[in-house]
Amino acid sequence: MAVDPMKTLGQDTPRVDAYERVTGRATYNRDIKLPGMLYARVLRSTVPHAMVRRIDTSKAEALPGVRAVMTHETHKIPYGSGSISGGRQYSDPHKDITTRLRYTFNEHVRYVGEPVAAVAAVNRHIAEEALQLIEIEYDELPFVMDVEEAVAAGAPEIWEGGNIAHDSENRQQPIGGQTGDLQAGFSEADQIFEERFTTAFIQDAQLEPRSSLAHWEGDKLILHTPTQGVSNCRHDTARDLGLEDHQVQVVCKYMGGGFGDKNGNYYFDLIAAAFARDLGVPVMVELSRKDDWLGTHGRWHTVQDYRVGVKDDGTVTAIEVNGKSGMGPYLRRSGNVSGMDVYACENTSKAILPVHTNRMVSGNFRAPAYPQGYFAISSMMDDVAYKMGVDPVQFALKNMVRPTETKQFTNYALDQCIAMGAEQFDWQRRWNPNPGSAEGPIKRGAGMSFMMFNARLGASSAIVRAASGGRYTVYVGVTDIGPGAKTTMSMLAAETLDVPLSSVDIVWGDSDRCPYSVGESGSRCTTMTGFAVVEAARDLKRQIDERGLPTGDDVLIASATPAPSTNGKLREGFGAHFAEVEVDTQLGDVRVTKYLTVHESGRILNPLPALDQIRGAVIQGIGQALKEDVLYDTNTGHPLMTGYYFARHLTHLDVPEIENTFIETDDGYGPYGAKTVGESGIIIAPATIANAVYNAIGVRMKDLPITRDKILEAVA
């Protein structure tokens, strides 16, 4: 199913703000200066678990240039209105009933890096100096860093009632559920396989260290902060401070990297707001790189135990997973693990326990529950395929999910992605049917994996305006975190209005000037906010057709808040990845020599940045597969890496060229059939690399990241 060419959509289009981004003119949060602005810094806990016995700020307060010091004794501000933030996408009732309240400063500190005090001063040097003058005594408590130990009998209690995280009704129970009949599925099986997989914590590590600039106009808070969702950040902040939404304005024009965990507010937004309110001047809270590393979030680490039943003909009859996700001491996001539904097998059981530890807090990172889930289930199935003597591609085609009477898709392209990828990659030639059999110290191998990812529809708003002279303005609450949302929204309006892109202006990143947007997370911005732009533009075009273009100072305005649905059908994007690696069995290095992807993401609205969303996400996923981790000294509870250097992020020298093909379709839903692109590329990259490493060395690597030491141990 191909798509018809369009005038604006589908054309490679440089981003509408590319000029600002390449000339340094784009204003990121720390570039903003307001008259009389103070700088604030946050002091953090140096112990993993303790009660603050005494905190003495007198010396810091006496330092000339210090204007205020804040601690749990002076300010008790709930953060995330309990434990979960993320605006209207999370239920407000839960925030009212939660029994595990988190504050901006907690007397009971639960991880190294937890905020314990903040200082506002006339410049950042004085603020930093003052932090060192704050004296704190802790009554240290036993701590726990491992998810298994955290739920064992006698473990230190991070929260009263035990270390299993609460769900939205304050219950401690696993995420998941059953489909079909698991026992019948295992009875039907000729062979049953069991395996344990683990994945590491991955810091989002956005390049822009976070900051928040607050000032007040009377009872109204104006907050400049790097957020993926001005609307959700406003709602969170208002709730936490006991304000109405309209009393908070959130502004974010540019921000240096999103990756999922910024669609809400942060504690430093509340610190900035409180300082600014108290002192009557603008206050900018700045996080250092180390602050940002310790004091924000990353992908939750997991332990996953799989059990799979297979018939002799290679049909999977039962899948069971029991797992634990490490959430750190506060629950910010779900802790779920995904991937099982890409298989046709109907007899399944999933039980994932989100567990508190005294590590840094986990949160969302690009496809939050997916890469770690797909790594485990795809490695498991790859292993089963080899053990059953089946080519992994054939095993995939046999067991992948397919449309059925009860499982209908708006369109389906998984088989096509796998087949096209295998052909383009030359799977038969590159794949070694006898893993690890290659001669010599450098062993070559190939691996593959396949995925689907929900291309959700849902409510979002947009306003489109026509003015005289043929100028059009789109008002959308997006911030353009990197994928090019401002450009996509402008292109959707231009196409729908049938006008040149150059006649469309955009107003963005300001909760006072733009209507509600779900924000840029969950790959929903184009499908939801983009659909609202199309609906509003259609309405405006009808108005123009009826009344003509406005003249003089007159304007025509249309708004839309559509909430489309797929009438029970599944709407998914599909993909298949293929990788070839060379493993140096003497040094333990893994070099990716070829990486090829095929994605079906509906109609591709702007091919230029869409390609780079896939390529960048794949490279992040390769980093997750081979390098990234946050290691802890388990004796002290301190992390061993607090920035880029030891975390081994990939550089220009480490990355292969990623080849991608989009299979374009229009399923009749979403904006001109567009689906999701932003997260799709990362989902199966770790799995694909791990499967290729297996094919090269003949040993299954079950623990991410697959670092040199693990390779050397495996081949020793």
Partner 1 sequence: MKDSTNGDLSRREFIGGTGAAIVAVNATTATAQDRDAAEARAIAEVPRTRIEITVNGQRQSVDVEDRWTLVELLRDHLGLTGTRIGCNRGECGACTVLIDDEPAYACSTLAVWADGRSIRTVEGVERDGKVSTLQQAFIEHNAPQCGFCTSGQLMSATALLERNPSPTAQEIREALSGNLCRCSNYNAIVEAVQAAVKMGGA
Joined together, the tokens standing for residue 603 give: 């109609």
Binding segment for partner 1 (CB under 8 A), chosen from 25-33, 133-141, 385-393, 669-677, is 25-33
| Contact of 503 with 470, CB cutoff 8 Å | yes
Cα–Cα dist 339/321, whole Å: 11
Contact, 399 vs 344, CB < 8 A? yes
Biggest distance spanned by C-alpha atoms of the chain: 80
Segment contacting partner 1 by CB under 8 A, of 24-32, 316-324, 507-515, 690-698: 24-32
Task: By CB under 8 A, name the one of 8, 10, 45, 81 that touches partner 1.
Answer: 81
Q: Give Rg (Cα) of the chain.
A: 26
CB 277 → partner 1: shortest distance, Å? 6
Site for partner 1 in 263-282 (CB under 8 A): 274, 277-279
Exactly one of 143, 201, 254, 266 binds partner 1 (CB under 8 A); that residue is: 254
| 245 versus 535: smaller Cβ distance to partner 1 | 245
CB of 62 to partner 1, least distance (A): 6
Q: How far is CA 91 from the centre of its chain?
A: 19
- Return d(Cα 223, Cα 252) in angstroms, integer: 9
Is 52 one of the binding residues for partner 1 (CB under 8 A)?
no
CB of 259 to partner 1, least distance (A): 8
Please, what is the minimum distance in Å from the beta carbon of residue 369 to partner 1? Answer: 21
Cβ closer to partner 1: 349 or 517?
Answer: 517
Confirm or reject binding of residue 122 to partner 1 (CB under 8 A). Answer: yes
689 contacts 592 by C-beta, under 8 angstroms:
yes
> Residue holding tokens 């079906």?
600
Q: Per-residue b/e over 96-118, b at no fewer than 16 CB within 10 Å?
A: eebebebbbbbeebbbbbbbbbb
| 313-372 residues near partner 1, rule: CB under 8 A | none
Q: Residue 625: count other Cβ atoms within 10 Å of its Cβ.
A: 27
- Is 22 near partner 1 (CB under 8 A)? yes
Residue 9 binds partner 1 (CB under 8 A): no
Cβ neighbours of residue 658 under 8 Å, at least 6 residues apart?
Answer: 595, 596, 597, 614, 615, 618, 619
- Contacts to partner 1 from residues 558-597, by CB under 8 A: none
Q: Can residue 220 be called a binding residue for partner 1 (CB under 8 A)?
A: no
Using CB under 8 A, which of 40, 42, 52, 70 touches partner 1?
70
**Does the protein bind partner 1 through residue 96 (CB under 8 A)?**
yes
Which residues from 386-415 bind partner 1, rule CB under 8 A? none
User: Which 3 state secondary structure label does DSSP give 126?
Assistant: helix
Q: Could you tell me the smallest distance in angstroms from the CB atom of residue 590 to partner 1? A: 17
**Interface with partner 1 in residues 285-314 (CB under 8 A):** 288-289
DSSP of 258-314, one letter per residue? -TTTTSS--HHHHHHHHHHHHHSS-EEEE--HHHHHHHS-EEPEEEEEEEEEE-TTS
Cβ at position 608, least distance to partner 1 in Å: 5
Give ∠ CA 368-371-375 in degrees, rounded to 5: 150
Burial of 29 (C-beta count, 10 Å sphere; 0-12/13-18/19+)? buried
Q: Is residue 515 at the binding interface for partner 1, with CB under 8 A as the rule?
A: no
Interaction with partner 1 in 615-654: which residues (CB under 8 A)?
615-617, 619-620, 623, 643-645, 649-653
Which one of the spans 255-263, 351-359, 406-414, 509-517 is the region binding partner 1 (CB under 8 A)? 255-263
| Of 597, 590, 608, 592, residue with least CA distance to 684 | 597
Q: Which residues contact 394 (CB under 8 A, 6 or more apart)?
A: 314, 385
H or E stretch covering 418:
helix 414-425
Q: Which stretch binds partner 1 (CB under 8 A): 12-20, 170-178, 394-402, 629-637?
A: 12-20
Which of 174, 176, 257, 562 is the binder for partner 1 (CB under 8 A)?
257
Minimum CB distance to partner 1 smaller for 583 or for 617: 617
509 belongs to the binding site for partner 1 (CB under 8 A): no
| Contact by Cβ (8 Å): 672, 605 | yes
- Interface pick for partner 1 out of 157, 208, 582, 584 (rule CB under 8 A): 208
Q: How far apart are CB 612 and partner 1 at their closest, in Å?
A: 5
Residue 713 binds partner 1 (CB under 8 A): no
Phi, psi (rounded to 5 degrees) for 542: -60, -45
| Cβ distance to partner 1 smaller for residue 619 or 663 | 619
Q: How many residues bind partner 1 (CB under 8 A)?
A: 90
3-state secondary structure of 315: coil
Does residue 261 touch partner 1 according to CB under 8 A?
A: no
15 vs 224 by CB, closer to partner 1: 15
Residues 466 to 505 in contact with partner 1, rule: CB under 8 A: 481-484
Interface stretch with partner 1, choices 237-245, 430-438, 578-586, 596-604 (CB under 8 A)? 237-245
d(CA 367, CA 678): 9
Q: How far is CA 446 from the centre of its chain?
A: 28
Q: Does 26 bind partner 1 (CB under 8 A)?
A: yes
Dist. CA 608–CA 224, nearest whole Å = 30
Q: How many angstroms separate the Cα of 592 from the Cα of each of 344, 444, 514?
A: 30, 10, 44
Written as one string, the DSSP assignment of 438-496 is -SSSEEEEEEEEEEEEE-------EEEEEEGGGEEEEEE-----SS-HHHHHHHHHHHH
* Among the listed residues 519, 609, 673, 698, the single contact to partner 1 using CB under 8 A: 609
Task: Choose one: 11-19, 449-457, 564-572, 575-583; the region binding partner 1 (CB under 8 A).
Answer: 11-19
Q: Does 141 bind partner 1 (CB under 8 A)?
A: no
Mask: binding to partner 1, 657-696, rule CB under 8 A, as x and -? xx--------------------------------------
> Binding partner 1 by CB under 8 A: which of 11, 34, 46, 61?
61
